[in-house]
Structure 1
Amino acid sequence: MSNRRQAKNRQLQTISNQLAAHGLTLRGGFAFGDEEAAPLSREGRPAKSALLVGQAGAAPWPHFMKWRQRQPRDLPNPLDTWSRQIIDEVAAHLGASAVYPSDKPYQPFQQWAMRAEGLKPSPLGILMHPEYGLWHAYRGALLFADGIPIQGVRNPIHLCDLCVGKPCLKSCPVGAHSEEGFAYEACLGHVRSADGGPCRSGGCLDRNACPYGVDYRYPAEVQAFHMASFADL
Structure 2
Amino acid sequence: MKAFQELAETLSTTLAAHGLVLRGGFNFSAGEESPTGPSNAPAKSVLLVGQTGSAPWPHFLRWWERQPRDLKDPLDSWSREVIGAVAYEFGARAVSPSDRPFLPFQQWAMRAEGLKPSPLGILMHPEYGLWHAYRGALLFDREISIQAPENPIHLCDACIGKPCLNSCPVGAYSADGFAYETCLSHVRGPKGAPCRDAGCIARNACPYGTEYRYAAEVQAFHMKAFAGL
What is the root-mean-square deviation in Å for CA atoms of aligned residues?
A: 0.8
Aligned to 1:142: 138
* Residues 100-119 of structure 1 aligned to structure 2 (within 5 Å): 100-119=96-115
Where structure 2 has 5 or more consecutive residues not aligned to the other structure, the ranges are none
Q: Does 1:193 align with 2:210?
A: no
Counterpart CA distance in 2 for 1:146 and 1:7 is 12
Gap change, CA 1:161 and 1:7, over 3 Å in 2 = closer
Letter in 1 for 2:138: L
2:4–2:146 CA contact under 8 A, matched in 1: no
Counterpart CA distance in 2 for 1:92 and 1:206 is 39
Counterpart CA distance in 1 for 2:52 and 2:123 is 12
Aligned to 2:91: 95
What is the DSSP-based 3-state SS (H/G/I as helix, E as strand, rest coil) of the residue aligned with 1:83? helix
12-21 or 181-190: bigger deviation? 12-21
* Residues 60-75 of structure 1 aligned to structure 2 (within 5 Å): 60-75=56-71
What is the DSSP-based 3-state SS (H/G/I as helix, E as strand, rest coil) of the residue aligned with 2:127? coil
Aligned to 1:121: 117
1:6 Cα deviation from its structure 2 partner: 3.7
Q: Does 1:35 align with 2:31?
A: yes
Letter in 2 for 1:33: S
Q: Does 1:220 align with 2:216?
A: yes
What is the TM-score of this pair, normalised by structure 1?
0.97
Partner of residue 20 from structure 2, selected from 13, 20, 24 = 24
1:7 Cα deviation from its structure 2 partner: 4.0
Counterpart CA distance in 2 for 1:228 and 1:209 is 20
Letter in 2 for 1:213: G
Partner of residue 51 from structure 1, selected from 47, 56, 59 = 47
What is the DSSP-based 3-state SS (H/G/I as helix, E as strand, rest coil) of the residue aligned with 1:194? coil
Counterpart CA distance in 1 for 2:202 and 2:108 is 25
Counterpart CA distance in 2 for 1:138 and 1:8 is 20
Aligned to 1:152: 148
What is the TM-score of this pair, normalised by structure 2?
0.98
Counterpart CA distance in 2 for 1:129 and 1:179 is 21
Letter in 1 for 2:64: R
Letter in 1 for 2:226: F
Where structure 1 has 5 or more consecutive residues not aligned to the other structure, the ranges are none
Counterpart CA distance in 1 for 2:160 and 2:2 is 45
Letter in 2 for 1:36: E
Letter in 1 for 2:13: N
Q: Deviations over 1:23-77 (max 9, x none)?
A: 0000000110111110000111111100000000100001001111111111000
1:159 Cα deviation from its structure 2 partner: 0.1
Letter in 1 for 2:84: D
Q: Deviations over 1:91-140 (max 9, x none)?
A: 00111101110001110000000000000000000000000000000000
2:3–2:145 CA contact under 8 A, matched in 1: no
What is the DSSP-based 3-state SS (H/G/I as helix, E as strand, rest coil) of the residue aligned with 2:204? helix
Q: How many residues of Structure 1 are paired with residues of Structure 2 in the alignment? A: 229
Counterpart CA distance in 2 for 1:117 and 1:30 is 9
Partner of residue 80 from structure 1, selected from 76, 80, 88 = 76
Counterpart CA distance in 2 for 1:6 and 1:118 is 22
